[in-house]
């Protein structure tokens, strides 16, 4: 989890950089903009954090925005309710850069809004039995729809960003 948190912090830092070099400021086509950097005059990149409670929601974001998913599992006396790695339904709308699970049932993932459209992020929580335990045959679906579009009325939904 610490590794993903570090990666998430680094990704957020990189994605919010503003390029100030003279070459980019002058819009020279022969000098590329660094990956993850906002071109001069571009809107800053936003980050939206989604958690267990956001299932069933729809979130609006702009192209380039980062969506971080943090799902918390549950440790029982003889079982663990563990999340699968969150996945995107469409890499052309939501590109996944990181995804991981942990032994305590938690799952985290980072996505970037890459193009216009609607993508769905899903994960499944299942019971993992401990030694000698039996789990119910039950799965819990977590789903959030993400609308990626240009416009001023974005970043509504999960945490108001």
Q: Where are the domains of the chain?
A: 45-148
Q: What is the pTM of this model?
A: 0.69
Residue written as token pair 């990666």: 7
Could you report the per-residue pLDDT of 33-61, keeping only the tens digit for each? Answer: 333 444 445 556 779 999 999 999 999 99
The partner residues of 107 in beta bridges, in order of sequence, read 71, 101
Could you report the per-residue pLDDT of 113-146, keeping only the tens digit for each? Answer: 999 999 999 999 999 999 999 999 999 999 999 9
Q: What is the mean pLDDT of residues 95-122?
A: 96
Q: Return the pLDDT at 8.
A: 46
Query: From the CB of residue 119, how many other CB atoms can be counted at a distance below 10 Å?
Result: 23
Angle at 84 between CA 143 and CA 6, to 5 degrees: 95
Poorest-confidence range of 21-30, 102-111, 139-148? 21-30
Please state, in angstroms and rounded to a whole number, the distance separating the CA atoms of residues 38 and 156.
Answer: 21
45-148 is a CATH 1.10.1520.10 domain: no
Backbone angles phi, psi at 29, to 5 degrees: -70, -15
Which has the closest alpha carbon to 12: 48, 59, 54, 57?
Answer: 48
Structure-token pair, residue 148: 């990626």
Q: Return the pLDDT at 92.
A: 93
Q: Return the pLDDT at 155.
A: 52
Residue 151 banded pLDDT, cuts 50, 70, 90? low
Residue written as token pair 């970043």: 155
Q: Return the pLDDT at 7.
A: 43
The whole-chain average pLDDT of the chain stands at 77
Helix (H) or strand (E) holding 15: helix 2-15
């Amino acid at each position: 989890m610490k590794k993903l948190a570090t990666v998430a912090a680094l990704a957020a830092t990189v994605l919010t950089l503003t390029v100030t070099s003279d070459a980019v400021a002058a819009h020279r086509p022969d000098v590329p903009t660094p990956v993850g950097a906002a071109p001069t005059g571009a809107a800053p990149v936003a980050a939206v954090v989604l958690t267990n409670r956001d299932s069933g929601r729809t979130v609006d974001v702009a192209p380039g925005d980062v969506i971080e998913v943090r799902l918390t599992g549950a440790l029982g006396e003889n079982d663990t309710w563990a999340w699968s790695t969150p996945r995107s339904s469409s890499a052309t709308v939501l590109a996944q850069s990181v995804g991981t699970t942990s032994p305590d049932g938690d799952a985290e993932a980072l996505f970037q809004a890459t193009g216009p459209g609607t993508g769905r992020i899903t994960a499944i929580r299942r019971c993992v039995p401990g030694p000698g335990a039996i789990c119910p045959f039950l799965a819990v679906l977590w789903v959030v729809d993400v609308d990626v579009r240009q416009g001023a009325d974005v970043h509504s939904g999960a945490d108001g960003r």
